[in-house]
Structure 1
């Protein structure tokens, strides 16, 4: 048996380390042309996702991609169904609003941009890929956090990148939001325990949060935690 682990989350690395410790036969596919390939316990697979999924040596697939990586998940479920491969999706619990939160639920970055009033200062925590949807906010200022140096200038004049690397403790997030005078936070409901600190900071500061709801998962077996995913993996 060779398990294919589709990465893209912090949990994927935890799973890989546990599988390596157990001497499980597995391989890892990394998104983004291997941008997160540093210090993995095994060398990542080469080729496209389709190449990896169609490798005859693969006998099961554990999908630990980002909850918003819908293209990768759809491709994986489709090929697994065609090949008759066991498939499991790591689907961590969503964030839930707590007392004091000021959330507005939206489906996309484009919808989020429509809620932002003139004169607002916005912290976009959804990555640079969706920035184009905020370009029309001429009377607002947009900050976008970037892990690692960007490969191009900020795409419109009324905004800038913030180059920072995790972790982001709550007290540092509070200080950052206060220094930048943020009043709107845009984020995706990833459910990440590491990224939840910005929501805690927003709650304490009374900031408005535009929460982009997670797309529905495929009709397939799911694991809600690393432990559940590891329970599924050896049985394959």
Structure 2
């Protein structure tokens, strides 16, 4: 059995793909709504955050034989917890990484490596800034951009109560809050940029499946500055492996589980002998 961390839309597709290949799994998700979408596809789920110790306990109690990490590319804590838990038990760790985006150099494309760098870059450019990186790191941008008379900060994020309360607490006016559930088409992105008079757009390099490409290309074609937070590089050690294709990951997981089953049978035969 596989424990699979799911945190994106393509993670659901991967889970369905693995089950279709005869690889049994349980999907671990944070929210009840994510669990509901997976269960609609016939996938067994468990809900709630897991730190390293909780994941080790779960892996042991349920007898999982492998960990597949398909959480969000920027979920660094989740990646670390999964890798460390798998390593602690000697289990194989398989990470699915969305294919990256390849963009030629563009005079209005600014690549940075952290949220702090992104906020400072926007502060230098000024103008109407649309933030599309979600609510988790909203404080970083509010600290740098709110209160500057030459900057209008609009934020586009999920319409959940936590995000709305955070916007209110940080002093982001309702007229500057775009509470919508994606993904968004190119036409939708263009309409929002025009409506808010956007001059600078901040986004993350989540990968091709995260609808970032449409958003980024639409912004550049409209003459906006785009501040792109580059996806952090994940390095695996020990039994960890990274894949950017469903087929490659499925083949590797299947081979590892088959080998594990073979080792168990061999051990059982020796005991009987």
Residue of structure 2 aligned with 1:178, choices 194, 197, 200:
194
**Partner of residue 159, structure 2:** 148
Q: Counterparts of 1:35 and 1:130 in 2: how far apart (Å)?
A: 22
The question of 1:210 aligning with 2:227 is answered yes
Q: Counterparts of 1:114 and 1:6 in 2: how far apart (Å)?
A: 33
Residue of structure 1 aligned with 2:71, choices 41, 65, 84:
65
TM-score, length-normalised on structure 2? 0.78
Superposed, which structure 2 residues align to 1:125-164 within 5 Å?
125-135=132-142, 136-137=144-145, 138-139=147-148, 140-151=151-162, 152=165, 154=167, 155-157=170-172, 160-164=176-180
**Partner of residue 37, structure 1:** 35
Superposed, which structure 2 residues align to 1:1-236 within 5 Å?
2-31=1-30, 33-40=31-38, 41-46=42-47, 48-49=49-50, 50=52, 51-54=54-57, 55-56=59-60, 57-98=63-104, 100=106, 102-116=108-122, 117=124, 119-135=126-142, 136-137=144-145, 138-139=147-148, 140-151=151-162, 152=165, 154=167, 155-157=170-172, 160-193=176-209, 194-219=211-236, 220-235=240-255, 236=257
What is the deviation of 1:39?
2.2
Mark the structure with the bigger radius of gyration: 2
TM-score, length-normalised on structure 1? 0.89
What is the deviation of 1:178?
1.2
More helix by share: 2
Q: 1:46 to 1:209 in 2, by over 3 A?
A: closer
SS state at 2:36 partner? coil
Determine which structure has greater relative contact order: mean sequence separation of CA pairs < 8 Å that are 6+ residues apart, divided by chain length: 1
Where structure 1 has 5 or more consecutive residues not aligned to the other structure, the ranges are none
Runs of 4+ aligned structure 1 residues displaced above 6 Å come to: none
Where structure 2 has 5 or more consecutive residues not aligned to the other structure, the ranges are 258-273
Q: Counterparts of 1:125 and 1:225 in 2: how far apart (Å)?
A: 26
Q: Considering only aligned residues, what root-mean-square deviation do their CA atoms show, in Å?
A: 2.2
Q: Counterparts of 1:101 and 1:229 in 2: how far apart (Å)?
A: 37
1:113-132: CA deviation from partner (whole Å, max 9, x where unpaired):
11224751111111011111
